[in-house]
Structure 1
Amino acid sequence: MPQTVAFTKGHGTGNDFVVIADPDGALDLTDDHVAILCDRRFGIGGDGLLRVIRSTSIDEGAAAAASGAEWFMDYRNADGSVAEMCGNGTRVFAKYLVDTGLASLEEPLRIGTRAGVKTLTRSTLGFEVDLGRWDVDDDDVLVRARGLSVPRPGQHADLGNPHVVVALSSVEELQDLDLTVAPILDPAPPAGANVEFVVPEDPLVHDGVGRIRMRVFERGVGETLSCGTGVAAAALAVRHWAGAGAPEQWSVDVPGGRLGVRLVPHADGSHVLLSGPAALVYTGEITLA
């Protein structure tokens, strides 16, 4: 039976989302519904969908509810598939909660995700999210992409969702990539991975801040103007390659704008924090068949 739902369109540095409030989990949003809503020709259009639901109203939210996180970010890729987390999405999610009066940022805001509870605060760039602990390993992976003459080595990075980061030699090489076709990873990760292509600025470090440029192919989506966890993964990979003395703070330029990354000590180990803007663009209603 058709259902009419209210939605908000939002974005973080051009990484755009359909936001739907479903506090008590009453909506039946199938994978096909999500794919149509995110379709740029037949739907609203977006890189993904953020369902705003109470942690107590979704099975994956039990741990978040137990930790005091009232709201859970049910994130879905543009093809309808479920994803663990979205860094830019957390900022858009927080802005929606604050602007609609569902939450406040007078104190740090905790939201549940499939990659654990994430904490958000205000920052000079807009919002900052603690993405938590991270891991960079040296497992070998080769990446083939249209526009690259030979396969390139990739660096695995885990931020609750999987990434592979590839270093390129020049801005021209970055611009010449054709990311309308998915990069091929060998060996292929069982759950797939987001693939980030990065070029260091010259000089790499300015006033104690590392600087890189990045483009990204997101699994289940395609190329996006920005990817929050991908930005963090790219900064961590370049820091790993740079070795001892590499900065703890990074500025990352993506096609949709600029994001900040910084590392901070924490009781359970080093955490990576992502900062950047979030905007809500328009609201409306749509009827789902």
Structure 2
Amino acid sequence: MSRTLPFSKGHGTGNDFVIVADEDGLLQLSDDQVEVLCDRHFGIGADGMLRVVRSTAIAAGEGLDAEWFMDYRNADGSAAEMCGNGIRVFLHYLLESGRLALAEGETVHIGTRNGALPMRRTPRGYEVDLGVFTIEPGETLVRVRGLPVPRPGQGVDVGNPHVVVALPTEEDLADLDLTVVPHLQPTPAHGANVEFVVPSDPLVRDGVGSIRMRVFERGVGETLSCGTGVAAAAIAVREWAGPSAPERWEVTVPGGTLGVRVAPVDGIPHVFLSGPATLAFSGEVALAEQPAPRSR
């Protein structure tokens, strides 16, 4: 048997999501059901799923000072701590569906597995305060198809784990084959998104740093954009550039350009991500109660 599930489809710089409204937390989707919904051949097609649920209706939202919780699942069905592009699409959906009102410059908190994150409406779309970040000690050796030798990567945690690898030229960036999972040594306990970056020449123009990036997202594969990955990449390049590095960055990914800034909150550096969000279409899909597991 199957039932009909209403959904919307949205994206942030090409990073796309199936959006399902479940205000009271009554919908329990298995990993296989989410994977089928996100499958680009057998389902709607997306990099992940956003379940719109009240924070009081989900265990992960318990105690959060936020009315709404973004229950984010990767395309393979696994739950993730955060999604920088997804949270902008999530807020845009709340506004467009009339569940929330927010004037430009006002702030609202959205619940995630990384806590309640403040967001505001801006001229370029939406900005989210991703909070404090951690530059991990040591290096991770990264092997990826398309690069003749392994390269060192910098671990950066922005609420979810990342490894950032610097490349010398845009040709090196273009030659990467990200249809194959990059190999990380040592292997992170919970996996990591891997960002490959090329600094612009010049790196800084009018006080703003600029880089290009491609990303392999855990549980998904290569995507056109990764919001938290963009933030992690800017943080890593800022660290490599030294004390004179700017606090504002423009990061260009295959799906567009996003803004990153580092600013203190109560004296502690936070990283902020800004960019657009778009709703593409809405519809209904037949949801199988017990779909056959997808091959992984």
Shorter-chain TM range is: over 0.9
**Aligned match of 2:10:** 10
Deviations, residues 96-132 of structure 1 (Å, cap 9, x unaligned):
0000111121331111000111111112221111111
Structure 2: how far apart are the matches of 1:2 and 1:10?
24
Structure 1 unaligned residues grouped into runs of 5+ = none
Partner secondary structure for residue 63 of structure 1: coil
How far the C-alpha of 1:139 sits from its partner, in A, is 1.9
Deviations, residues 45-71 of structure 1 (Å, cap 9, x unaligned):
00000000000000000021xx2x000
- The one-letter amino acid of 1:233's match is A
**Aligned match of 1:252:** 251
How far the C-alpha of 1:261 sits from its partner, in A, is 0.2
**Aligned match of 1:43:** 43
Structure 2 unaligned residues grouped into runs of 5+ = 289-296
**Aligned match of 1:226:** 225
Task: Report the identity percentage.
Answer: 65
Partner secondary structure for residue 62 of structure 2: helix
Structure 2: how far apart are the matches of 1:92 and 1:164?
24
Deviations, residues 247-284 of structure 1 (Å, cap 9, x unaligned):
00000000000000001111161111000000000000
Structure 2: how far apart are the matches of 1:195 and 1:47?
15
**1:81 and 2:73 aligned:** no
How far the C-alpha of 1:27 sits from its partner, in A, is 1.2
Structure 2: how far apart are the matches of 1:191 and 1:24?
30
**1:174 and 2:173 aligned:** yes
Structure 2: how far apart are the matches of 1:174 and 1:123?
31
Deviations, residues 198-254 of structure 1 (Å, cap 9, x unaligned):
000000000000000000000000000000000000000000000011000000000
**Aligned match of 1:124:** 123
Partner secondary structure for residue 25 of structure 2: coil
TM-score, scaled relative to structure 2 = 0.95
**Aligned match of 2:291:** none
Structure 1: how far apart are the matches of 2:161 and 2:174?
24
How far the C-alpha of 1:138 sits from its partner, in A, is 2.6
- The one-letter amino acid of 2:270's match is H
Structure 2: how far apart are the matches of 1:141 and 1:82?
24
Deviations, residues 171-216 of structure 1 (Å, cap 9, x unaligned):
0000000000010000000100000000000000000000000000
Structure 2: how far apart are the matches of 1:7 and 1:51?
10
Deviations, residues 17-68 of structure 1 (Å, cap 9, x unaligned):
000000001112111110000000000000000000000000000021xx2x
Partner secondary structure for residue 34 of structure 1: helix
Structure 2: how far apart are the matches of 1:103 and 1:40?
30
TM-score, scaled relative to structure 1 = 0.98
How far the C-alpha of 1:84 sits from its partner, in A, is 0.5
Q: Would you say how many aligned residue pairs link Structure 1 and Structure 2?
A: 286
**Aligned match of 1:203:** 202
